[in-house]
């Protein structure tokens, strides 16, 4: 497992981008749970954010691709609206402990 960040670096209802071992990732916290995904839209393979660390829609309830507006569920990465409906983001296995958030690349 590789260390991603301290738990406090990912507050509730926020997202944050990372590069770990050359791999672009992003993390989202919802309902006190951290979720980590590869930063790559399944539609065109582009990065999702429109500005650094901006991966969520205005309501902070869905992940949004800035390029085509596709919307993804935070809990499992499934696309629920947009050009890649039915596809999913690539989930990165993660766990959280007293030190912070860890990922399995």
Averaged over 39-56, what is the pLDDT? 94
**SS3 state of residue 95:** strand
> 103: part of which helix (H) or strand (E)?
strand 100-103
What pLDDT, in 10s, does the model give residues 13-46? 999 999 999 999 999 999 999 999 999 999 889 9
With bands split at pLDDT 50, 70 and 90, how would you rate the model's confidence at 50? confident
DSSP 7: G
Averaged over 56-73, what is the pLDDT? 96
Chain-centroid distance of CA 62 in Å reads 10
Domains of the chain: 2-103 (2.102.10.10)
Q: How far apart are CA 88 and CA 77, in angstroms?
A: 5
> How many residues in the chain?
105
Using left for φ > 0, alpha for ψ between -120 and 50, and beta otherwise, residue 6 falls in: beta
């Amino acid at each position: 497992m590789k260390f991603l960040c301290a738990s406090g670096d990912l507050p509730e209802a926020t997202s944050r981008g990372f590069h770990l071992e050359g791999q672009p990732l992003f993390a989202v916290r919802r309902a006190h749970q951290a979720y980590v995904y590869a930063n790559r839209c399944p539609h065109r393979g582009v990065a999702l954010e429109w500005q650094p660390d901006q991966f969520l829609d205005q309501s902070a309830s869905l992940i949004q691709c800035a390029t085509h507006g596709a919307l993804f569920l935070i809990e499992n990465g499934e696309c629920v609206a947009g050009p890649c409906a039915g596809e999913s983001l690539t989930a990165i296995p993660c766990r959280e402990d007293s030190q912070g958030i860890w990922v399995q690349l």
